[in-house]
Structure formats: structure tokens, C-alpha cells
Amino acid sequence: MEDEDKLEKQQRERREFLSWLGGALACGAAVIAGDAGLQQAVAAGERTAAAQVPPKPAIPGYDWTKHRWAFGVDATKCIGCLRCVEACKKENTVPADAHHFRTWVERYVTLEGEETARIDSQADPVNIAAAGSESEYRFADRYRDAKVAKAFFVPKLCNHCTEPACVQVCPTGATYKTVDGVVLIDHTYCIGCRYCVQACPYGARFFNEEMNVSDKCTWCYHRITKGLLPACVEVCPVGARIFGDRNDAQSAISRFIHDNRVQVLRPETGNAPNVFYVGIDEDVS
């Protein structure tokens, strides 16, 4: 009898424990599923809310709802002097080597009798040798004795896309799109998984080993929010880089887009870039 009572008690406890365990598991699953749904709802809500009442950054005298920044590149003007690359490295303390660039310049040279362009950038070993070090930038005169049919330079940088693949894949939301159209990275929140580096079709992102986070061009957000131009635009001696506010119809960038037949890089990705090019051909991607 006593044994039966004991057994009954054990079985009851066991049933209680199992029902608790089942409940806990079900709750766990529900929380996970619910959390996913909730997060999506919150994210959707945030997007809607952001369009209406955006949280303003703490920058004195700057209202990010009033601007829509964009960048232009006139490849017909670029002379490949690479002052932009140097200015960017200094302004943004980008690691001074040949593997980390927030902006770079590509050279496209088609020789007579050839159909495709030969491409290099300042990071090419031949150009580094000509510059003397990885922290100095120069294009070597490597086509001096060749018969060049066509040649041009193309400055490259982050496209601050309207539909950025890098923002889409960031697992924490450390990289985000600002209301004024700039893609930024919160270096204090980035976990350094490098998924965004993989996702960018333009190779604009890199991993900064000094900070152990992803890094890229910010259009010098610290400057443009104070009414200054990005460093690369500021130093360009020929006006090949154009920057401005598309909300202002008379800004340099609005006029550039209006007056020229512009194109963006890799439109097929659906990223909708905000760097507009003039004077490039199909070799450029």
C-alpha cells in the first residue's frame, strides 16, 4: 500500500514535471516565433515611424530630415592624381596600407588591337613600387611605350545604396541607413562578423583590424553635417567628385544629375546606388 502511494506520488510528480517541461518548451518556441514576428512588426513600424518622426542625431544645428545627400563622379575629369585617396586616409584614419580603402581610383586602359580594358588601381603592386610605399599613392607610367587606344580613371567609393545589401545582412543592426541617405556603421555595436563585407557587390567595405569592426566610406558624415564637403571632394583639383543635397535643386549634385546622362554601377543588384557616374563604359562595374 505504502509502495503504491509512493509510486503514485512519484508518477504525479513526474507528470507535473513533464507538463512543466512541455509548457516551458512550448513557451520557448512561442517566444522565439513570437519574437520573430514581433521584431518584424516592430521593424516595419520603425520604418513607417522613421518616415514620419525620425529620431534626430545629436548634432547641433543639423536636421537630417532636411537633406538627401548624393555623390557624383565625372570620370571624364579625373586625372588619377590620387589626392582623394590620400585625403580620405588621413581624414578618416584609414589603415595606411594597400588593403584598406574607403575610396580608391581605378585606371582603365585599352590598348590598340585589344577589346577589353586592362584595369589596375593604386593598390596594384606595380603602382605601389612606383609610389615607393603602401602609404603613398601613384599610378606608374606602365603604358609609356604601348599604343593606347583609350584610357580613363574611375574613382570608387561606397555607393550609399537606397536598398543596401550590407544593411540587409547585418545581424545586429550596427550598420544602418540614415534618414539623410548615408549608410553608417556603429563601431561600438558591430560584432565583426564581416557578413556585410561579403554582401557588398562593390567591394566598398573592409574589416578594420585595428578596431576589429567593419569599416567603409561615410561620405565624411562628420564633415557634411557641419556644412563641409567630404575630404575627397574638397581636395579634388579637377572637380571630378561632386557632392551635395538632392533636396536642393540648385546644389552641385542636383545640377550634375540633371545636366548629364548619369548611370550607377551594377544596377542589376537592385541595391539602387546613390553615386552617379558620367563618362564610364561597360568595363566598369
Partner 1 sequence: MEAQFLSSPFSGYVYPNETVISWTVLIAVYPYLTGLVAGSFTISSLYQVFGFRQLRPVAHFALLVSLCCMIIVPLPLLLHLGHPERAFNAMITPHMTSAFAIFSFAALFYVILLMVETWFVFRPYIVHQAQQTKGVLSWIYRGATLGSYDLSDNAMRYDSKWVFWLAIIGIPGAHGLHGYVGFVFGSLKAREWWSSDLMPAIFLFSAIISGTALVIVLYVLSCKLRRAPIDLACMKVMAYSLWGFMMFTLLLEGVEFASLVYRGRQGYDVIMQFVEGPLLVPFFILQFGVGSVLPLAVITFFIWRGANDRALVVGMTASAALVLLAVLMMRYNVVIGGQEISKTGKGLLAYYPPIFGREGLLAAGTLLILPLVLLSILVRFLPPWHEREQMT
Indicate whether 160 belongs to the interface with partner 1 (CB under 8 A): no
281 makes contact with partner 1 (CB under 8 A)? no
H helices of 177-235, in order, are 195-199, 221-224, 231-235
Q: Is 189 in the site for partner 1 (CB under 8 A)?
A: yes
Contact region with partner 1 (CB under 8 A), list: 14-22, 72-80, 231-239, 243-251: 14-22
CB of 239 to partner 1, least distance (A): 24
Residues 237 and 7: their CA atoms lie apart, in Å, by 90
Per rule CB under 8 A, is residue 32 in the interface with partner 1? yes
CB 269 within 8 A of CB 204: no
Q: φ and ψ at 31, to 5 degrees?
A: -65, -45
Compare residues 204 and 229 and give the one whose CB is closer to partner 1: 204
> Cα(129)–Cα(136) distance, rounded to whole angstroms?
10
Q: Confirm or reject binding of residue 162 to partner 1 (CB under 8 A).
A: no
CA proximity to 109, closest of 120, 122, 123: 120
Q: How many residues does the chain have?
A: 285
User: Could you say which of 75, 109, 190, 265 contacts partner 1 (CB under 8 A)?
Assistant: 190
Q: 204 or 257, CB closer to partner 1?
A: 204
Q: Which three cell numbers stand for residue 174?
A: 550596427
d(CA 128, CA 96): 12
Per-residue CA distances from 61 to 57, 149, 154, 183, 250 (Å)? 10, 51, 35, 21, 22
Q: Is 149 in the site for partner 1 (CB under 8 A)?
A: no
* Binding flag, residue 199, partner 1 (CB under 8 A): yes
C-alpha cell at 199: 554582401
* Residue 13 or 63 with smaller CB distance to partner 1: 13
- Cα–Cα distances (Å) from 269 to 1, 8, 202, in that order, read 76, 66, 10
83 touches 233 (CB < 8 A): no
Q: Is 17 in the site for partner 1 (CB under 8 A)?
A: yes
Q: Is 136 exposed, middle or buried (0-12, 13-18, 19+ CB in 10 A)?
A: middle
- Smaller CB distance to partner 1: residue 18 or 129? 18
Say whether residue 200 binds partner 1 (CB under 8 A).
Answer: yes
Question: For residue 56, what is the DSSP state?
Answer: P
Q: Which of 68, 89, 160, 205 binds partner 1 (CB under 8 A)?
A: 205
The residue range among 27-35, 76-84, 138-146, 254-262 that interacts with partner 1, by the rule CB under 8 A, is: 27-35
| Residue 15 or 66 having the CB closest to partner 1 | 15
92 forms part of the interface with partner 1 (CB under 8 A):
no
169 lines the binding site for partner 1 (CB under 8 A): yes
- Residue 10 as a binder of partner 1 (CB under 8 A): the answer is yes
Q: Which residues bind partner 1 (CB under 8 A)?
A: 7, 10-11, 13-14, 17-18, 21, 25, 28-29, 32, 35-36, 39-40, 43, 95, 97-101, 104, 106, 119-123, 156, 165, 167-174, 189-195, 197-214, 269-270, 285
